Structure 1
Amino acid sequence: MTALISGLSDLADRYDVILSDVWGVIHNGRESFPAACGALAQWGETKPVVLISNSPRPSHSVIPQLDELGVQRAAWQAFVTSGDATRVLLSELAPGPAWRVGPDRDAPLYEGLGLDYADYDKAAFISVTGPYDDEVEGPGDYQERFEACAKRGLVMTCANPDIVVQRGDRLIYCGGALAQLYAQLGGKVLMAGKPYAPIYELCLVEAERLLGRPVDRSRVLCIGDGLPTDVKGANDQGLDVLFVASGIHGAETIGADGLNAKAVEDLLAADGLAATYAIADLVW
């Protein structure tokens, strides 16, 4: 059974390091959540917080966005993104050429990799960070081109496994939605972000650096709001996880009386997943 907790302070003595999701836990793409940021900052006074994000950009290029949204630097001590892990995959496929799918803001993913680029009909593989315009586009806008690429046997790398994220009060499609469609069409997809192992391996390296000693995996706590990414990733790695119910699954788990424990259990069970703990919003 998932244990409901009132705040992160309930777990302060149980864990040595936190791997915390970003979007949906400490901000929504438009503003930060002060209570959540404050909780991580309080934890960070004595123990490290490693942010683990499915952002398709390298972590160094995402930090300015966190600053602009008001996520204080005290809320984290290290930052690892899906972009960091995906660059390893892309370096193995260079020089391509790649059909690059995604907005211009994701360009830092490719810096220094020596990749060439081509349209879908001439590319050697596909690299996806998300839709070109996530305000208006969805997977269906790419189906015909993906069908052609799948028939040619092109591999797709996807730098953001998230299906959707919450931007303000809206849900928008991410790279994972495009990758899901490509796989359904028979295409092969490579991913390194959550829930896949490479990003967790990078995070645990950072945790060891911050702790100055080997990590005891039984004392690592993952925090996240996404079932197929945060919760599944933690489950697959044998790590405990705190499910933040008010994120992308808030409409299903939060009622007039607050967090609905049965709704959380039903939601997890439907996907064959387990959460060690659950909380409505991340607070201290």
Structure 2
Amino acid sequence: MTELIDSLDQVAGHYRAAFVDLWGCVHDGVRALPEAVVALRRFRDAGGIVVLVTNSPKPRRGVKSQLERFGVPDDAWDTIATSGDSARAAMFRGAVGEKVFFMGEDRDLGFFEPLALIEAPAQIERVELKSAEGIVCTGPFDPMADPEALRPELLYAKQKGLKFLCANPDIVVDRGDRREWCAGAVAALYTAMGGESLYFGKPHPPIYDLARRRLAALGQDVDRGEILAIGDGAQTDIRGAMGEDIDSLFISGGLAQSETRTERQPDPDALGAYLRREQVSPTYAIGRLR
């Protein structure tokens, strides 16, 4: 049974670390959410460790720069684990071959920067689709266009038997008041067409392994029962937490704001109906992270 709470403080004392989603929880894709910043600062002041666990296809350095632009201060978090870093490691280990077709926007070309942590990395070369051994996707070419527009390229790739590396399993995100498609929507279409998609962000295990390695790098050995996952994605943040057997706090005022009729807090009946429909059971729920 999901418990509706009014602030992170109510349950923070049960946990030593928080795996916190970014988009829809800490910022809205344009600016920081002030109440969330205060809540994370308070958690850290009480001795908690904040790991920002994001399905961004950007490397950790790119996410840090983005946080600075949005006004999320450094003292609200300890370290960052990105889907991009997890997927990059797989790419440089040759998960989809060395000649890859890149599907995404130019702003995500940092995905191909060398990764020093991999011994004898694959020599990645971006090529046209007809010459590719695999696909690397950080998102659609146009995040406002229906992913169905990519069906011809995906059909060709499927017929060639190309693997599809998805650097961001999110289906959509809200950038301010504008909803955009993400790489997860393209990967879902490719899978539905019979292609093979490889995922590295939430709700899949690789990003949680990375988050725990980030904790270990801070000198912290934290049991599963001492970790709280916080996020607004039922099928990413909450399902991922359930798969990892860690507690979760669902932010209803993010992607599910309208479905849960969230103002300051969600409507309890609408929240219950939404969670049943999504077939997830977060430990707690709150309207906004505060």
TM-score tier, shorter chain, comes to over 0.9
Distance 1:60 1:273 in 2: 32
Unaligned runs of 5+ in 1: none
Task: Give how far 1:255 is off.
Answer: 4.7
Task: Give how far 1:242 is off.
Answer: 0.1
Distance 2:160 2:38 in 1: 50
Q: Report if the CA contact (8 A) 2:250-2:286 is conserved.
A: yes
Q: Please tell me whether residue 243 in structure 1 is matched to residue 250 in structure 2.
A: yes
Q: Matched residues, percent identical?
A: 37
Structure 1: 4+ residue segments shifted above 3 A: 255-258
**TM-score normalised according to structure 2 size:** 0.93
Deviation per CA, 1:97-149, whole angstroms, max 9, x where unpaired?
10100011111111116311112222110000001221x32211100110111
Question: Which SS does the other structure have where 1:172 is aligned?
Answer: strand
Instruction: State which of 96, 99, 112 in structure 1 corresponds to 2:98.
Output: 96
Question: Which SS does the other structure have where 2:243 is aligned?
Answer: helix
Distance 1:102 1:216 in 2: 37
- Structure 1 residue aligned with 2:109: 107
Instruction: State which of 221, 226, 237 in structure 1 corresponds to 2:233.
Output: 226
Q: Please tell me whether residue 149 in structure 1 is matched to residue 157 in structure 2.
A: yes
Unaligned runs of 5+ in 2: 116-122
* CA shift in 2, pair 1:99/1:261, >3 Å: same
- Structure 1 residue aligned with 2:285: 278
Correspondence 1:181-220 to 2 at 5 A? 181-210=189-218, 212-220=219-227
Distance 2:223 2:90 in 1: 28
Give the length in aligned residue pairs.
281
Distance 2:227 2:270 in 1: 26
- Structure 1 residue aligned with 2:50: 49
Structure 2 residue identity aligned to 1:19: F
Instruction: State which of 152, 158, 165 in structure 1 corresponds to 2:173.
Output: 165
Task: Give how far 1:153 is off.
Answer: 0.7
RMSD, matched Cα: 1.4
Q: Report if the CA contact (8 A) 2:139-2:181 is conserved.
A: yes
Q: Report if the CA contact (8 A) 1:50-1:77 is conserved.
A: yes
Task: Give how far 1:87 is off.
Answer: 1.2
Structure 1 residue identity aligned to 2:109: A
